[in-house]
Structure 1
């Protein structure tokens, strides 16, 4: 954190955020929001550990000087600059300069057969000065801190940034797929899922010349479980808001929740959750805002 005397706030400068086509930028929104979230989490766990596990706290306090650092965290966290949506269009600046960079026609690069075609026409320094992104940046922020932003803000930023994102990273399509599901755009979500699946499984064999994209395969799982099935954890609570693609009849997958093995089945209008253990723990979760308690098996129309 660097203090900006003029604005009386802390900035985070000279970073590369998730979008690797924008190097050495100031106040990347994802970076700033996540730093703010992490500091608040540290403050929360300071209190939790101190009250619930005093012996552990004393050990950590000696090693990390938590008591003195807490004052620093509390002072700084409220002064971190968090880019806000612009009043005219609800777009959050990806960083201090992104929205002032040149806008070009990206059509042929969006329709590219091979990733990185942009660099046939531009150098990396030139790309750094164009409103073009390699991969998800703002979308990762909406994915991880989804309850921090309204649906209208997410959609406004989707409409602004997705057309400028070339998905030249294998990690980008799956993140956008989940966000498309969140916005109930089932057709777009399924198209992104298909494209993500084809990175290693599709007809273009060149994609895997240097090996399979292991993290991207995890992203495909996220498309299905976090996106189409709507499984998320917010504030430590389980949520299942299914949005099954129109051309799918059902999806079934295992889920371990707090050490309890579950089987979750989603079909066109029915969610079934089954507990596969003798645990007496009742599992609480929500489906589209309604709370349910799972004992052994529950079926929910949605």
Structure 2
């Protein structure tokens, strides 16, 4: 919605989705008198190697975001579109939820960085056995850990199948400091086997975010090899279409540095050493924007030219009605 600016989508579907998912999360929260917080127990977070865990950080933060967004949308509609709110309230019984959402959003347990700045992936992860994962990190095929451990045993080890905390930093990057992101990268990436095709692209983007361009490019190349490389056994059942979408994200959101934060479009590129130029299209608020990124500059062409597009380039705000080129050299 923030990218397209299509209010009709929100009126017909978006608000209802936000409200109904907030209703669900309200039903999943459990109050603990020990700390006065609401917890989410017995879940599988993004990391599929950790089953039936409590307080998965990604899950709790996203539920918190959902509840807060539902509150803000409820208040927005009450002022601007009371008729629509009334229709949705009748369908979903929203009046009984609004105050509850506000209470829950303020008291949901959000795992915090420890003294070492590491955020617990879930309530038990940091207490699990820590083993040497070297041979699995160097594997040419996925899932080799199952030759030595079964699923129940893996559930008791400090090992992750795919990105978990990293997805949280990707989606809610402005809620965490660079120091926290790097500390968690240094802790969790060595413990992540990338046994899911969805993992490499997220890590590629985050490697760019923390400034490790060599690691980002290495992960990008590995993501290409999931379906195109010399060891394609994981593709025997078909291609990984979601992973292919992740490759596009690695290019545009990772090396291109594109991000949407609170409805604002940002580009902060970091090209691989071997690349001279990167070009791509984005549709933003109905404007066809064509980006050309080099190591020296960012050029943006507004090919629709109906209205100016507001874009942050390398930390500064610009309006692009026709064409603009900004130096990114430091």
- TM-score under structure 1 length normalisation: 0.98
Q: Residue in 2 aligned with 1:300?
A: 326
Deviations 1:72-111 (A, max 9, x none): 1011111100000002x10000011100000110000001
Alignment of 1:137-156 (within 5 A): 137-156=164-183
Query: Partners in 1 of 2:227 and 2:207 — Cα distance?
Result: 22
Q: SS at 1:252's partner residue?
A: strand
Match of 1:184 among 204, 211, 236: 211
Question: Paired residue for 1:287?
Answer: 313
How far apart, CA to CA, are the structure 2 residues paired with 1:22 and 1:250?
40
Q: CA RMSD in A?
A: 0.8
Post-superposition Cα deviations, 1:213-235, rounded to whole Å, max 9, x if no partner, equal 00000000000000000111001
Cross-structure match for 1:46: 74
- For residue 23 of structure 1, give the secondary structure of its aligned residue in structure 2: coil
Paired residues, number? 300
Partner of 1:116: 143
1:27 counterpart = 2:27? no
TM (norm. structure 2) is 0.90
1:67 equivalenced with 2:95 (yes/no) = yes
DSSP-derived class of the 1:81 partner: coil
Comparing 229-238 with 45-54, greater Cα deviation is found at 45-54
- TM-fit CA distance, 1:61: 1.5
SS at match of 1:78: helix
Alpha-carbon separation, structure 2, partners of 1:278 and 1:99: 52
**Who is 1:13 aligned against?**
41
Mapped partners of 1:127, 1:250: distance in 2: 43
Q: Which runs of 5+ in 2 are unaligned?
A: 1-28
Runs of 4+ in 1 over 6 A off after TM superposition: none
Question: Could you tell me how far apart the structure 2 residues matched to 1:124 and 1:162 are?
Answer: 20
State whether structure 2 residue 199 is matched by structure 1 residue 162. no
Equivalent position of 1:82 in the other structure: 110
SS in 1 for 2:98: helix
172, 193, 215: which is aligned to 2:220?
A: 193
**What SS does the aligned partner of 2:97 have?**
helix
Aligned to 1:239, what secondary structure does the other structure show? strand
TM-superposed CA distance for 1:207, in Å, is 2.4
| Other-structure match for 1:212 | 239
Q: How far 1:68 moved relative to its partner?
A: 2.3
Tell me which of the two structures has the higher relative contact order, counting C-alpha pairs closer than 8 angstroms and 6 or more residues apart: 2
Give structure 1 stretches of 5+ with no counterpart: none
Using the alignment, how far apart are the partners of 2:302 and 2:91 within structure 1? 41
CA distance in 1, matches of 2:37, 2:297: 49
Q: CA deviation at 1:122?
A: 0.5
Distance in structure 1 (CA, Å) of the matches to 2:57 and 2:305? 45
